Structure 1
Amino acid sequence: MPELVVENLVKSFGGNAVLEDITFTVADGEFFTLLGPSGCGKSTTLSCVAGLENPDAGTIRVGDRVFFDGRSRTVPPEERNLGLVFQSYALWPHMTIADNLALPLKLRKVPKDRRRELIDDALAKVDMLPLRDRYPHQLSGGQQQRVALARGIVYSPGVLLLDEPLSNLDAKLRDQARSWLKTLQREVGITTVYVTHDQVEAMSLSDRVAVFMDGRMRQVGTPAEIYESPATPEVAGFIGRCNLLAGRVDPDPGDGTTVRVELTGSGQHLRVPHTAGAGAAAGRTATVGLRSERITLAEHIDDAPSGVNVLRAYITQRSYTGARFEYELTLGDLTLQAESAISYDAREINLLIRPEDCHLYLTTA
């Protein structure tokens, strides 16, 4: 399967920029996810790749074939040999499952005897072959989703484009579908671009993730890179449950590997990694990113490990979620979230925080 290359993509609607300088490459056989909140431009990007929207500028190519070059070259959707699966599945209700898969093969003038072979092979891949003669209304949502995916791969497209295909499924079925979809993608070996706002889908399915916000790509990396080393406070705040704590770099020089940040309105400090180099000068305003599950709650600090930050906070709310307790805490003027397997009844609590679990983001000079 070929790689997909998107370079400097720009798109506006009514004078409003919705995509600004979008550039990425999806390697042969890679599962690449466009992740972001509603309205961030991820589906528009997919539509541009599919040919359903024409960009204002940029380049789109698959392998050596250019689909759009910003000047004279625009290949229509039907000539791009891309598989596209919509959120709504878009199955023809008056056609059987086999006939739904036959339609794109007829449009490509595939011989009739070869069509049946391809249809049965695609349906077998998604475990739907015994239901080939049923109609869409006779299938569950999960079964319809599998048929839509089978139709997307039946003609061996160069790239498979998936626009939130699991969003119509209930939570339990969505969990099952994620595992099944990743297995299918690996077996078929097809280059895949997946659009979702669901972080769990993105993290569990993807080889790499591109985080979109406000029409721009804010970070591209493996799921572990995105989660463990978010490039900006916005990415940190969007991925997982991350506290963003305002503060200011303290004059204390520390040991050269960490800096001390005074947390706004709390009178307390955090020592965090010196990741910003010489730019982390005393007095610089900063934001510290701290994931809720990286905070350890403790009633006593006698056994706190050496070098660990210790903060004193008030518990303002406790919620039981089954696997853990989620806490809302106040630290002076700051509010933050933490989680623990232990139920604490005390009003005041100690927070134990390792410096390496903190992310330092410098703001204005």
Structure 2
Amino acid sequence: MPELVVENIKKSFHGTTVLEDIDFTVADGEFFTLLGPSGCGKSTTLSCVAGLETPDSGTIRVGDQVFFDGTPRHTVPPEGRNLGLVFQSYALWPHMTIADNLALPLKLRKVPKAEQRRLIDDALTKVDMVHLRDRYPHQLSGGQQQRVALARGIVYSPGVLLLDEPLSNLDAKMRNQARLWLKGLQREVGITTVYVTHDQVEAMSLSDRIAVFMHGRLQQVGTPTEIYETPATPEVAGFIGRCNLLEGRVDSAEEGSVQVQLGTTGQRLKVTGTGSAGTSATVGLRSERITLTDRVDAPHDGGVNVLRARIEQCSYTGARFEYELSLGDLRVHAESPIQHTGREINLLIRPDDCLLYPETV
């Protein structure tokens, strides 16, 4: 399977820019996810790759075939791109059997009838649906219809498979199951895949790499571990997982770390990183990396920060307790396996667990 290259894509609608300098490469056989909130440009990017939207400028190619080139103006129509596309709505023909739904793209490509049956059964076998080939879409569950849509997307061996939030119509339990077999299917087929979602769990569990979109721009491209552990911007940190973003000012700096005064709390936080004294900074702090303790005399062992906070709310979620805490004018979310019943509590925070974003000029 070929790689997909998207270079400097720009797109606007009625004078409003929705994509600005989108640039990434999807390697041969890679599962690559476009992740971001609604309206960030991820689905528009996928539509540009599919040929459903035409960029204003830039280049899109798969292997040696150029799908779009803004200079000189060159565009290959969707039907000439040999891409598999699976929509959120499944888009199955209700009056056709499952086998006939898969046969349609093969007929359009003038595949011989004898070969059609082999390809259809092979695709349905891959999604464990061959025994239902003669049923109609309304006779299937949502999860089964989604599998059929995927089978139709791979039945003609496309160069790249494009998936636009294909699991969003499934309930939570079915989604968890679907993620497992979708990743297994992609590995078995070995197809280069571009997946669009706003669901962080889907992105983290399915992807080889993730491209995080915000406001029509690419904020960061990296592996799930890189995106989670070293988010490039506060926006990425705030979107991925549960991350507190605390505003403050750098009081002092030494080699490899800084002291940040948090808001107007009067409390300071030692953070690994570099910055200049007197400048503003944002500290990212993931809720699961805060240790809560009822001990008033919590020791400052090994340079661990100790902050005093007030418990505003505690919620039981089954696996843990979730806390909403206040540190003066700042609000912090934290998690613990233990229920703490007091009004005040100490937060133990390691400097290495903090993400530092100094003010940029």
Report TM bin, short chain.
Answer: over 0.9
CA displacement, residues 291-330 of structure 1 (integer Å, 9 cap, x when unaligned)? 0000000011546532100000000000000000000000
**Aligned residue for 2:116?**
115
Paired residues in the alignment total: 359
Amino acid at match of 2:95: H
CA–CA separation in structure 1 for the residues paired with 2:21 and 2:299: 51
Amino acid at match of 1:244: L
Say if 2:252 is the partner of 1:257: no
Residue pairs, 1:166-205, within 5 angstroms: 166-205=167-206
Residue pairs, 1:325-340, within 5 angstroms: 325-340=321-336
Say if 2:294 is the partner of 1:295: no
Deviation at 1:97, TM superposition (A): 0.1
CA–CA separation in structure 2 for the residues paired with 1:257 and 1:232: 19
CA–CA separation in structure 1 for the residues paired with 2:301 and 2:260: 20
**Aligned residue for 1:248?**
249
CA displacement, residues 317-360 of structure 1 (integer Å, 9 cap, x when unaligned)? 00000000000000011001000000000100000000000011
Structure 1: give runs of 5+ residues left out of the alignment. none
CA displacement, residues 250-294 of structure 1 (integer Å, 9 cap, x when unaligned)? 13x34x1111000011000010012x4xxx110010000000000
Structure 1's 6 and 361: CA in aligned 2 closer, same or farther, altered over 3 A? same
Residue pairs, 1:321-360, within 5 angstroms: 321-360=317-356
Structure 2: give runs of 5+ residues left out of the alignment. none
Q: Is contact 1:297-1:340 (8 Å) kept?
A: yes
Amino acid at match of 2:142: G
Q: Secondary structure at the match of 2:195?
A: strand
> Normalising to structure 2: TM-score of the pair?
0.98
CA–CA separation in structure 2 for the residues paired with 1:283 and 1:237: 24
CA–CA separation in structure 2 for the residues paired with 1:40 and 1:190: 26
Q: Is contact 2:9-2:19 (8 Å) kept?
A: yes
> Normalising to structure 1: TM-score of the pair?
0.97
CA–CA separation in structure 1 for the residues paired with 2:53 and 2:220: 24
CA–CA separation in structure 2 for the residues paired with 1:77 and 1:229: 37
CA–CA separation in structure 2 for the residues paired with 1:76 and 1:342: 58
**Aligned residue for 2:62?**
62
Structure 1's 302 and 10: CA in aligned 2 closer, same or farther, altered over 3 A? closer
Say if 2:313 is the partner of 1:312: no
Structure 1's 148 and 14: CA in aligned 2 closer, same or farther, altered over 3 A? same
Q: 1:282 aligns with which of 277, 289, 292?
A: 277
Q: Is contact 1:248-1:264 (8 Å) kept?
A: yes
Deviation at 1:35, TM superposition (A): 0.1
CA displacement, residues 24-57 of structure 1 (integer Å, 9 cap, x when unaligned)? 0000000000000000000000000000000000
Residue pairs, 1:90-105, within 5 angstroms: 90-105=91-106
CA–CA separation in structure 2 for the residues paired with 1:30 and 1:306: 42
Say if 2:148 is the partner of 1:147: yes
**Aligned residue for 2:224?**
223
CA–CA separation in structure 2 for the residues paired with 1:248 and 1:364: 13
CA–CA separation in structure 1 for the residues paired with 2:213 and 2:161: 20
Amino acid at match of 2:36: G
**Aligned residue for 2:43?**
43
Amino acid at match of 1:114: E
Q: Which moved more, 1:26-35 or 1:67-76?
A: 67-76
CA–CA separation in structure 1 for the residues paired with 2:298 and 2:263: 27
Amino acid at match of 1:35: L
Say if 2:158 is the partner of 1:163: no
Which portions of structure 1, spanning 4 or more consecutive aligned residues, are displaced by more than 4 angstroms?
301-304
Q: Is contact 1:284-1:364 (8 Å) kept?
A: no
Amino acid at match of 1:134: R
Once superposed, what is the RMSD of the aligned Cα atoms? 0.9
CA–CA separation in structure 2 for the residues paired with 1:218 and 1:58: 18
**Aligned residue for 1:33?**
33
CA–CA separation in structure 2 for the residues paired with 1:311 and 1:302: 10
Deviation at 1:171, TM superposition (A): 0.3
Indicate the percent of aligned positions where both proteins have the same amino acid: 79
Deviation at 1:72, TM superposition (A): 2.4
CA–CA separation in structure 1 for the residues paired with 2:46 and 2:258: 42
CA displacement, residues 226-264 of structure 1 (integer Å, 9 cap, x when unaligned)? 00000000000000100000000013x34x111100001
Structure 1's 364 and 118: CA in aligned 2 closer, same or farther, altered over 3 A? closer
